[in-house]
Amino acid sequence: MGNSGGGIAGAIGGIIYLAIIIFFIIVWWKIFVKAGKPGWAAIIPIYNIIVFLQIVGKPLWWIILFLLPVVNLIISIICLIEFAKKFGKPEWHVILMLLFGIIYFPILAFGDAKYTA
């Protein structure tokens, strides 16, 4: 006979996964709005990177750098440093973003951090 317990656990896991995705869509939507950009841009692939580059004040052609292995890691860190600065946070907050992003970005989105162009 079959074991239906695995199906239920899988369904619950899927629901939790979907809830986390929806939560982070809301988080990034809120961050984009704080930066004066349309929130819906956070859910459009590639366009969300273009808008992120606008937020951090980097040129559009940098999107190409995100496609290059290893280079994309360096560019991501540079962009996160600028991202921290734009929200009034010190550069070392990039470490928090990288290690504790699941906590850091919601605090940034829903906290009192202000975007400065």
Output the pLDDT for position 9: 85
Q: What is the pLDDT of residues 21-47, one digit of tens each?
A: 999 999 999 999 999 999 999 999 999
Helix or strand run (H / E) with residue 95: helix 93-110
- Torsion (CA) 25, 109, 105, 57 in degrees, nearest 10: 90
Q: What is the pLDDT of residues 62-93, one digit of tens each?
A: 999 999 999 999 999 999 999 999 999 999 99
Host domain of residue 96: 5-110
Assigned domain for 97 exists: yes
pLDDT band at 7 (very low <50, low <70, confident <90, very high): confident
Assigned domain for 101 exists: yes
Assigned domain for 39 exists: yes
pTM of the model: 0.85
Assigned domain for 74 exists: yes
Q: Are 55 and 83 in contact (CB under 8 A)?
A: yes
Assigned domain for 58 exists: yes
Assigned domain for 117 exists: no
Output the pLDDT for position 10: 86
Assigned domain for 66 exists: yes
Apex CA 72: angle with CA 68 and CA 75, to 5°?
A: 130
Output the pLDDT for position 113: 92
Domain count, the chain: 1
